[in-house]
Amino acid sequence: MSQIFGTTVQGIGSEAATFADQGMYVLFGDNAPAALADFCYTIAMNPTTAEIVPGQTLILDGASFPVTAVGSLVRKNLDGLGHITINFDGAAEAALEGNLHVAGSAPALTVGSTIVIEG
C-alpha cells in the first residue's frame, strides 16, 4: 500500500471531544474559522497524492480503519483547507461532500497523533 495522505495533529480545540464522543473528528488546517476552531483537530497541511476512495485505509496512530464512503470534496478540501470530517459510522454513502466515513470506533487523538490514508 502507498500513502495517499499523511499529517499530524498540531492542536485540539477545547470542544473537539464533543464531536469525538459522537464518532466524528473535524479536521482543519491552521486557518480554521474562529467559530469552528474550538471544535477542530488542527492538522499540518499536506497535499494528497491520489484520489481517496472507499476500500482504502485510514490509519490513526497505527490503528487501521477501512474507508467505507468518501464525499466528493474530501480531496479538494484536504488539499486546500486541511478540512474534512471523519465519521466512524461505516456508512456506504457520504452524508456530506466533505465527509470521510470509516468503520470502527473513534480512538482518542492527542497532539502529535498521526493521520494517514493508504491505498
CA distances from 70 to 14, 103, 111, 112 (A): 27, 12, 25, 25
- Chain segment 66-110, per-residue pLDDT in tens: 999 999 999 999 999 999 999 999 999 999 999 999 999 999 999
Answer yes or no: are the C-beta atoms of 78 and 56 closer than 8 Å. no
pLDDT surpasses 90 at 1: no
What's the pTM? 0.96
pLDDT digits (tens, 9 = 90+) for 19-76: 999 999 999 998 999 999 999 999 999 999 999 999 999 999 999 999 999 999 999 9
**Please, what is the end-to-end C-alpha distance for the chain in angstroms?**
5
In the chain, the domains with their CATH numbers are 3-118 (2.40.33.40)
> Beta-strand (E) ranges in the chain?
3-12, 24-28, 41-43, 57-60, 63-70, 84-87, 99-102, 114-118
Residue 113 in grid coordinates? 497523533
